[in-house]
Amino acid sequence: MPDKEELYDEAIDLYAEEKYDDAIAVYNRALAVDPKFTDAVHGLAMCYQAKGDLDAAIELTKHYIEQEPEDILAFTNLSMFYQKKGMIKEAESAGAEARRLDWKRQLKEAKPQK
C-alpha cells in the first residue's frame, strides 16, 4: 500500500494532467492515511477550485481552518476562492487574516531566543 507521500505525489501528477476527479480520489486516499496531512488538504481544495466547484473548495478550507486556525496558506487560498466566487468582503477578510498570521510568524521569528 502506498504511503501518504506517494499518494500525494501521484495526486499532484494527476492535477498537472488536469485529471481533477482522479486527483481528488487520490488526495482522499492520502487523507484516509493521515486526516491531518496539510498538503493533501490544500491540494484537494485546489482540485475543487480547478473543477469550478468553489463551494466545495470553500467548505473544505473552512473546515480545515477550524482544525488549524494558524495556517496562513489556508486563509490565502480561502481568500482566492471567495474572490473567484465574487464574495469580495469575505475574500478581503480571509486575506487580512492571512497577512495577520504572517506578521505574527515574522515577529516570532525575529524575537531573540533566550
Q: What's the pLDDT score for residue 1?
A: 76
pTM value is 0.89
Q: Which domains does the chain have, with CATH numbers?
A: 4-110 (1.25.40.10)
Instruction: Give the CA distances from residue 89 to residues 76, 99, 109, in Å, rounded to whole numbers and listed in that order.
Output: 14, 15, 30
Strand spans (E) along 20-93: none
Instruction: Judge whether 45 and 21 are in contact, CB under 8 Å.
Output: no
Q: How does DSSP classify residue 111?
A: S
Measured distance CA(32)–CA(104) in Å, rounded: 32
**Tell me, what amino acid is at 3?**
D
One digit per residue, the tens of pLDDT, for the chain of length 114 reads: 789 999 999 999 999 999 999 999 999 999 999 999 999 999 999 999 999 999 999 999 999 999 999 999 999 999 999 999 999 999 999 999 999 999 999 988 887 766
Q: What's the pLDDT score for residue 31?
A: 96
Terminal Cα distance for the chain, rounded: 45
Q: What's the pLDDT score for residue 114?
A: 63
Q: Which three cell numbers stand for residue 99?
A: 497577512
Q: What's the pLDDT score for residue 2?
A: 87
Q: What's the pLDDT score for residue 110?
A: 86
Q: What's the pLDDT score for residue 60?
A: 97
The four Cα atoms 111, 107, 58, 80 give a dihedral, to 10 degrees, of: -140
Where does residue 25 rank: exposed (0-12), middle (13-18), buried (19+ CB within 10 A)?
middle
